Amino acid sequence: MKRLTAALMLSLAVLTATAQSKKVEYNFTEASDLTMVGKLMPDTPNPYHRVDTVKFKGFTKSENKQVRMSAGLSVAFKTDSKVITIKTKYEDRSFPVNTGGLSARGYDLYIRKDGKWLWAASAVAKDNKPDDNVTLIKDMDGTMHECLLYLPVFSEESSIKIGTEKNATIEAIDNPFRHRIGIFGSSFTHGTSTSRAGMSYPDQLSRMTGLQFLSLGCSGNSKLQTYFADVLCAADVDALVFDGFSNPEAPMIKERLFPFIEKIQKAHPDIPLIFQRTIYREYRNFNTDRDNNERVKTAMADSLMDIAVKKYKNVYYIKTTCATSKDHEATVDGIHPSDYGYTLWAKSIEKPIKKILKKYGIK
Amino acid sequence: MKRLTAALMLSLAVLTATAQSKKVEYNFTEASDLTMVGKLMPDTPNPYHRVDTVKFKGFTKSENKQVRMSAGLSVAFKTDSKVITIKTKYEDRSFPVNTGGLSARGYDLYIRKDGKWLWAASAVAKDNKPDDNVTLIKDMDGTMHECLLYLPVFSEESSIKIGTEKNATIEAIDNPFRHRIGIFGSSFTHGTSTSRAGMSYPDQLSRMTGLQFLSLGCSGNSKLQTYFADVLCAADVDALVFDGFSNPEAPMIKERLFPFIEKIQKAHPDIPLIFQRTIYREYRNFNTDRDNNERVKTAMADSLMDIAVKKYKNVYYIKTTCATSKDHEATVDGIHPSDYGYTLWAKSIEKPIKKILKKYGIK
């Protein structure tokens, strides 16, 4: 034990020395001056909005609010700062009980290591002091790190300033993900019930595949609306993925699906439109009505998509979508998967999506 | 498509009929009049407290508050009600950003199916109307179901009333778990960062093994304190498990570990005392100080436990404790695992714990 004690003594001395915290002087960089990742519409006047709500009309009040949230957006940069802090000017914040505060209002940092994105830190300013800085990470080694910082999922921001040590470098890096693949979807695509901002299935899929998924997830509001089609028609994308059968009931799917496809195909005749079957919701386990309703909804989507894939060129249907673990424990509230449920979802569609995209030279 | 449409029409008709919701008349039963599960100290004056803070002294203010929280407690009953609602009288509620609202303040229901506990529902009253009923589940099939209802993790309640339909039955069932195995531990054992109340690793371990784990998880406060030993000495238990090296720093572990073991052994000379190594915290990935600190802490615990297992009878050390997924995505805030991280933790200790307990006839 003697040898160990000596090692401990040394380590403790190191700890004590570094524990004497000194006031850090920061240099602040607006996040949007670095590389914005995951932006479906790159030219929004507020860079943290997903859609320009002055330009695109037809949204309900809550949809308007949602498309201004920074869900699915991230910022790529490199820095040799030992500390990173963030100062936010929030325009709106949400406090959902089924979604973590770190996800709804906070930041999630990954750092590239051995070619992969390794999780580094998550943090959010105090709920009663949202305008204060929050230290995201400190005591880094001072070498240059490539960073990917996910923005809040259920908040709107007018400014996000990344603070690095005064004498450190911070610079944009190239977008780490390839191509532009839009996803229009429900709360699932939005990231509801994630515990931190980078755990939605489109974000996980981007990290898994290296492909760039551009999220237009709008919790409760992915209903094949014609005004959302307007946005998707105007978007510069190589492919589109739809979580389009999670929110609408069967009659709405019947009424809207084909016109929705036709409208988007007119604008994007040559890109793949990939629809996903909605997932199994655990609230069906003992609720007979919900079980019946889900069955009806999925049957309608399946039957129409059987026709659509034959009727329309470049239209695909993925039926493998799955966020259910064997033990049925990967749900938060019976509707929304946990982080791990979203991992399972991303894994369940990874191969089928890559296979389709490959046909179009997207890989 | 004709055949499908007919099927859909029928299903939609059923839906419409049942969607005409009528006001349910409830019969309310105090949860503690049913079977309380997971209670380390069964005789607390408030049945939802984990420790009687009038009887046991020495706790800090925050520890006092924590041991009155209902973390790890659940209620077992059977009912044929189609609806279950809950009405709570909260004494205290927490709003942590790294823990789901459904977990911190809400309820988590499992129903027995084919001999296993299958997740059924989770819910919490509105944050601004905590005293209102919350409907946990509805539209059940009206047959008798065996239920296990987990109570809030970061709240104190003076009353929890379970509402069932006026003409339905609700009755206590036998405790579904065997034996009494106490766990004293940190935020990990408490259930910090779970998304719902039944996802702490002791709860998951109970469902996995059928053994009853009785949690005394106290976030940040599992530091081998002598006054916590007092509680454990007084508890009627068949075994004790410790997540005792997550909160204290190395010097505290050195000072307190052996006296703590000796005190508890005096009261419980013949039961196994099973210590767990603390887990890998993802915040070490890029924070050099934290990485060093964790190494020091774990080295101290390892070295002392090497001695302890030889020095003391019935003392064990489990080094397999693991909440880290291969992709390092099973963390919420770098300290605390996600629900899935806790699943991995429970799985990592299941076999070693069962092996030790078996020696003592606990199986």
- Tens-digit pLDDT profile for residues A177-212: 999 999 999 999 999 999 999 999 999 999 999 999
What's residue B21's pLDDT? 56
User: CA torsion sign, A105 to A106 to A108 to A109?
Assistant: positive
Domain containing residue B341: CATH number: 3.40.50.1110
Q: What is the CATH number of the domain that holds A159?
A: 2.60.120.260
pLDDT of res. A7: 40
Specify the pLDDT at position A21.
56
Co-location of B187 and B308 in the same domain: yes
| Structural domain contains residue B7 | no
B84-93/B74-79 β-pairing? unpaired
* Span A260-282, average pLDDT: 98
- The residue whose two tokens read 């998550």 is A122
* Proportion of chain A above pLDDT 70, given as a percent: 94
* Same structural domain, B163 and B298: no
Question: Considering the domain boundaries, does residue B330 fall inside one?
Answer: yes
Query: Which one of B195, B201, B209, B332 makes the best mutation probe of the A interface by having the most chain A beta carbons within 10 Å?
Result: B195
Give the pLDDT band of residue A340 (cuts 50, 70, 90): very high
Structural domain includes residue B10:
no
Supply the range of the domain harboring residue A54: 26-172
Asked if B293 is an interface residue toward chain A (Cβ–Cβ < 8 A), one would say: yes
- pLDDT surpasses 60 at A140: yes
Q: Is residue A12 part of a domain?
A: no
Distance from CA of A43 to the nearest CA of B (A): 32
Reading the block at residue B144, the tokens are: 């008798």
CB B273 within 8 A of CB B240: yes
In which band, very low, low, confident or very high, does the pLDDT at B311 lie, cut at 50, 70 and 90?
A: very high
Quote the pLDDT of residue A9: 42
3-state secondary structure of B329: coil
Give percent of chain A with pLDDT exceeding 90: 93
Q: How far apart are CA B134 and CA B131, in angstroms?
A: 9
Average pLDDT, chain B: 94
Contact A289 B111 (CB under 8 A): no
What average pLDDT does range A120-142 have in this prediction? 97
Distances in whole angstroms, Cα of residue A345 to Cα of each of A189, A329, A331, A350, B153 = 11, 14, 12, 9, 28
* B155 and A CB contact within 8 Å: no
- By the 8 A CB rule, do A70 and A191 touch? no
Angle at A151 between CA A147 and CA A154, to 5 degrees: 160
Q: Which residues of B touch A99 (CB under 8 A)?
A: 100
B272 and B140 within one domain: no
Rounded to an integer, what distance in angstroms lies between the CA atom of residue B93 and that of residue B105?
A: 6
Does residue A2 carry a pLDDT above 80? no
> Which pLDDT score, from 0 to 100, does residue B16 have?
39
Considering the domain architecture, whether residues B121 and B255 belong to the same structural domain is answered as no
Domain end (from B144, B172, B200): B172
Are residues A252 and A232 part of one domain?
A: yes
Examine the domain organization and report whether A182 and A326 are in the same domain.
yes
In this prediction the ipTM stands at 0.93
The answer to whether residue B18 is domain-embedded is no
- In a 3-state reduction of DSSP, which class is residue B331? strand
Are A76 and A92 in the same domain?
Answer: yes
Residues A5-31 have pLDDT tens digits of 444 444 443 343 344 456 899 999 999
Contacts of A176 (CB under 8 A, 6+ apart): A37, A76, A112, A117, A146, A148, A210
In chain B, the number of structural domains is: 2
Q: What is the pLDDT of residue A23?
A: 85
Q: Is A58 domain-assigned?
A: yes
Same-domain status, B194 and B79: no
Q: Choose the weakest-confidence range: A300-309, B1-10, B292-301, B350-359.
A: B1-10
Domain boundary at A127, A143, A172, which? A172
The mean pLDDT of chain A is 94
Judge if B163 and B193 occupy the same domain. no
Residue B5 has pLDDT above 50, yes or no: no
Structural domain ending residue among the three candidates A172, A202, A220: A172
Considering the domain boundaries, does residue B231 fall inside one?
Answer: yes
Region A26-39: mean pLDDT is: 98
Whether B187 and B140 share a structural domain = no
Do A95 and A204 have their domain in common? no
Residues B215 and B272 in one domain: yes
- Inside any domain, residue A7: no
Residue B297's closest chain A neighbor by CA? A8
Max Cα distance, chain A (Å): 77
